[in-house]
Amino acid sequence: MSTQAPTFTQPLQSVVALEGSAATFEAQVSGNPVPEVSWFRDGQVLSAAALPGAQISFSDGRAVLMIPAVTAAHSGRFSVRATNGAGQATSTAELLVTVETAPPNFIQRLQSMTVRQGSQVRLDVRVAGIPTPVVKFYREGAEIQSSADFQIVQEGDLYSLLIAEAFPEDSGTYSVNASNSSGRATSTAELLVQGKTVAVPAKKTKTIMSTSSQMTVDSHFQSSSMMEMRVEGGVVTQTLAHKTPPRVPPKPTSTSKSPTPPSLAARVAGGRHQSPSPVRHVKAPTPAPVR
């Protein structure tokens, strides 16, 4: 495996501590080979004599410095340095010791949101308080532990919950609880993750062309439809029509038979004009001669 210079994946964060309380600095570092870690205060290497009671640990890339009971004299700039054969890296933060106290206060509260499945989600809050509040994220009342899927990060007074890829089952009520020796505060919001939608194909019309005819057929016709075909100028058009019930001829209103239609001879005769009767000319008898 190739070597890698040290990198702080989570740097130190400044701390405001109440006099007499504990103050803790934490940092996460990676590198290959595993780096060696050293702590400094105002540029000087920390030693047991310079900081009595301080506890220093380094395990699984997590470097921690804890001062059990701080005083005003502990205020200053603290640094952690990680070194290996490939290089080195340094992270620095401030420690402020005060006699004043202030309960946690959300400068920026959680915001409800709606996202699509597969989206990355970031839930942010900003919290102030003296001493520095302890901040925890919850979903439906269960505390969220930082992991590959749900990462909790801090940058000064900004605390964030990162969801690498959201799924519908991640929907629910999320809350942040900030607490210190002076009090507690909570912020709540809703997250809705919508599943992917399936598009419904639009209705299409299929046209079949040939050299001598054209036919248009609706591809989404019902089996009960009727089909009408017309031939116009060499074009065959097939039209689908809704099926209608057959017509029933009305029943006669009475049982009497209708009059018999006139015969053909009568119709022909009725259409002729009668000419007047012919005049017969009768020859009168010839009178006998007088003798």
**pLDDT tens digits, one per residue of 121-170:** 999 999 999 888 999 999 999 999 988 899 999 988 999 999 999 999 99
User: How far is CA 68 from its chain centroid?
Assistant: 48
Distances (CA, A) of 189 to 6, 136, 278: 37, 14, 121
Which of 98, 126, 145 is at the close of a domain? 98
Handedness of CA 275, 276, 277, 282 (dihedral sign): negative
| Domain co-membership, 79 together with 106 | no
Question: Helix (H, G, I), strand (E, B), or coil: what is residue 270?
Answer: helix
User: What pLDDT, on the 0 to 100 scale, is given for residue 146?
Assistant: 86
pLDDT in 10s for each residue of the chain, 291 residues: 689 999 999 999 999 998 888 999 999 999 999 999 999 999 899 876 778 889 999 999 999 999 999 998 899 999 999 999 999 999 999 999 988 889 999 999 999 999 999 999 999 999 999 888 999 999 999 999 988 899 999 988 999 999 999 999 999 999 999 999 889 999 999 999 998 765 656 655 544 454 444 444 444 434 444 444 444 444 444 444 444 444 444 554 444 444 444 444 444 344 444 444 444 444 445 555 554
Q: Which amino acid is at 255?
A: T
| Domain co-membership, 94 together with 157 | no
Q: Tell how strand 205-209 and strand 150-155 pair up.
A: unpaired
* Residue 22 tokens, joined: 């504990």
Q: How many domains does the chain have?
A: 2
| Domain co-membership, 87 together with 127 | no
Question: Is 110 a member of any domain?
Answer: yes
CB 11 within 8 A of CB 47: no
| Domain co-membership, 106 together with 94 | no
Question: Is 250 a member of any domain?
Answer: no
Residue of 17, 184, 23 lying closest to 105 (CA atoms) = 184
Question: Is 272 a member of any domain?
Answer: no
Handedness of CA 149, 164, 187, 25 (dihedral sign): positive
DSSP secondary structure letters along 41-92: ETTEE--TTTSTT-EEEEETTEEEEEESS--GGG-EEEEEEEEETTEEEEEE
Question: Is 24 a member of any domain?
Answer: yes
CB 82 within 8 A of CB 39: no
Question: In degrees rounded to 5, what are phi and psi of residue 115?
Answer: -130, 165
| Domain co-membership, 109 together with 159 | yes
Q: Tell how strand 183-194 and strand 113-116 pair up.
A: parallel
DSSP secondary structure letters along 190-225: EEEEEPPPPPPPPP-EEEEE-SS-EEEEETT--TT-
| Domain co-membership, 94 together with 114 | no
Question: Is 271 a member of any domain?
Answer: no
User: What pLDDT, on the 0 to 100 scale, is given for residue 18?
Assistant: 87
| Domain co-membership, 9 together with 89 | yes
How many angstroms separate the CA atoms of 251 and 247, rounded? 12
Which of 133, 163, 194 is at the close of a domain? 194
| Domain co-membership, 83 together with 158 | no
| Domain co-membership, 73 together with 126 | no
Which of 33, 67, 98 is at the close of a domain? 98
| Domain co-membership, 145 together with 187 | yes
User: What pLDDT, on the 0 to 100 scale, is given for residue 273?
Assistant: 45
Q: Which domain holds residue 175?
A: 102-194
Residues 6+ apart with CB under 8 A from 94: 14, 15, 76, 77, 78
| Domain co-membership, 89 together with 149 | no
| Domain co-membership, 76 together with 136 | no
User: What pLDDT, on the 0 to 100 scale, is given for residue 289?
Assistant: 52
Question: Helix (H, G, I), strand (E, B), or coil: what is residue 265?
Answer: helix
Q: What is the CATH number of the domain that holds 151?
A: 2.60.40.10
* Residue 67 tokens, joined: 């001062």
Q: Tell how strand 36-41 and strand 44-45 pair up.
A: antiparallel
Question: Is 288 a member of any domain?
Answer: no
Place of tokens 């000064």: 156
Question: Is 254 a member of any domain?
Answer: no
Question: Is 134 a member of any domain?
Answer: yes
